[in-house]
Amino acid sequence: MNRKSVFIAGTMLIAGLVGSAAQAHQWGCWIQADRNVRVRNLGGINATAAINDWNNSTILNISYVSSGEEIYVSPANSGATGWGGLTTITHSMGCTILRATVQLNSYYSWTPNATRGLYCQGVGRAFGLDHSNDGGCMGGGYWYDIGTHYRVVSHNINDIAAMYADRVVALHPTVGPEADEPRIHAFWYNHPQSLREATRLASEIVVATVTDVTDGDPVHAAGVSRIPTQRVHFTVKHGQKGSLSAGESFVLFQNGNEENRFEEDPSYKVGQRYLLMLSPREDGTYLVVSPEGRYEVTSRGLVPAAEKGFAADLKGARLQDVMLDVTRAIAEK
């Protein structure tokens, strides 16, 4: 029995223990067809190091190919989109991933370790993993800095074992309907860890109402799939920071659309009211600084776009209470 086979046998035992103790951190219902995953890698040495980390540490058998890949990995300059990395499921059957792309947005600057961490997390997503607060790359940008936590750790190994223990040959099984599962996950360039930090990142903070949603030009860079976008038109009800004031209008750059939803960045609807923390784009539109800068205002309190961290803890909070905290953060220059 070779080293990989011995490791698989040992990790399958771990998988049984993990499965009985806790459910794996899986991204929705997404999963590769089996343990044998073909990767086309154009990401350079840091991407190679990240992919090899997954291959050497888990029961997955990763091979490098020049075509016919299940995961395509590459850098590309997609401009000021707000996201620094993107994992997109481009082809699927049921919940089985047939092809996914992992892109690093080279518009933003990254250290070598952060580059490796982004590729590590993006490829992990293409295996069907969700974020986990375990000290490894899958928690980077949420609980800690991905530039100092850029490796695969034991928790990730156990999650892969739990998900793939019974997936030995490529049967392309259908696990269930994927209609409600977001197909695109972004690693956002900004990951504020507090309301104070989000406030300081924003050049504009407003409460505004959606008046229209239109299609925008898709984001496209050489070698990667086009990403659809929308333009969301708002009228300001109240301006808290910056130059936008009550009665003024502005346009928000929105990644994705109804058919291609971004996780933690759902579509906007006409008539919805939001607390938004914004930064400007060169074309005159605005970006939300990150999912932690977007909160729908409802009769039951705020509804954050972010599903983790401090922003998720603000679910149900009263707008006036949060605005008081924002005012204090602005005053603490």
Domains and CATH numbers, the chain: 3-188 (3.40.390.10), 195-331 (2.40.50.120)
What was the pLDDT predicted at 171?
56
Q: What is the pLDDT of residue 174?
A: 53
pLDDT of 22 reads 53
pLDDT in the model for residue 6: 40
pLDDT, position 10: 47
Radius of gyration for the chain, computed over Cα atoms and rounded to the nearest angstrom: 21
Of 192, 210, 201, the residue nearest 241 (C-alpha):
201
What's residue 178's pLDDT? 52
pLDDT value, residue 24: 78
Evaluate whether 311 touches 292 at the Cβ level (below 8 Å): yes
How far is Cα 258 from Cα 133, in angstroms, rounded to an integer?
30
pLDDT of res. 175: 54
In the chain, the amino acid numbered 159 is: D
All residue ranges of the chain with pLDDT < 70 are 1-22, 169-182, 222-223, 333
- Alpha helices of the chain — where are they, by DSSP H? 3-21, 45-57, 112-126, 154-164, 195-201, 309-312, 319-331
